[in-house]
Amino acid sequence: MVLSLLGVVAVAIFSAFSSGVNIWKRLNEQTQGEDAAILFQKLARDLRNSVEFRGMDFQGDPELLSFAVVRREAAVSSADRVCLVTYQLDLAEGAVTREVRGMSEIYEGHSGSILPVVGNVRSLSFAYFYQDPQTKNYLWSETWPPKVTSDGVRRPTAVSAEMVLRKDGGDARYTKHIPLPGCV
The domain segmentation of the chain, as residue ranges, is: 2-179
Helix, coil or strand: residue 46? helix
Longest dimension (CA), the chain: 88
Residue-by-residue DSSP string for 99-114:
EEEEHHHHHHT---EE
Give the 3-state secondary structure of residue 84. strand
State pLDDT tens for residues 45-89: 999 999 888 878 899 999 999 999 987 665 655 566 889 999 999
The pTM is what? 0.77
Band (pLDDT 50/70/90 cuts) for residue 179 is: very high
Q: In whole angstroms, what is the distance from residue 99 CA to residue 116 CA?
A: 9
pLDDT of residue 26: 64
Measured between alpha carbons, how far is 96 from 63 in angstroms, rounded to an integer? 10
133 DSSP 8-state letter: T
pLDDT bucket at 28, cuts 50 / 70 / 90: low
Among 5-9, 57-61, 114-118, 149-153, whose mean pLDDT is lowest? 149-153
